[in-house]
Structure 1
Amino acid sequence: MLKTIVKEGESIERALKRFKRKYKKTKVLQELRERQQYTKPSEERRQTKQKAAYKEKYLRSLEE
């Protein structure tokens, strides 16, 4: 369970922003989304290769 202590003189908005940042770093939401649907390991590998190829193509287009 995440705890965020509001410091003296700190606004609630700032404390909420810190809490949201901590929550995002725990990757809870990402894990929930991944567990909604099973993907085979071979599919995952194929997707990572496709993403890497796309990223490389994009970076090369920026250099030119």
Structure 2
Amino acid sequence: MSELPIAPIKRLLKNAGASRISEDAAIKLADVLEEIGEDLARDATKLAKHAGRKTVKAEDIELASK
């Protein structure tokens, strides 16, 4: 089960144009987003360590997302 709350995930889908959203769809999207987020966080952490920092900065996230 995902750590992300389902209500904001449903809002994301609504903002994307979905008129109706099943609970299963919201849960699945939360799982996928969490997986992507963990990979991104891992890469950003490596970038911060490579730069000699313990703190992950926005620039690390930006670089990791490319």
TM-score bracket for this pair, using the shorter chain length: 0.3 to 0.5
Give the structure, 1 or 2, with the largest relative contact order (CA under 8 Å, sep 6 or more).
2
TM-score (norm 1): 0.43
TM-score (norm 2): 0.42
Larger Cα-atom Rg: 1
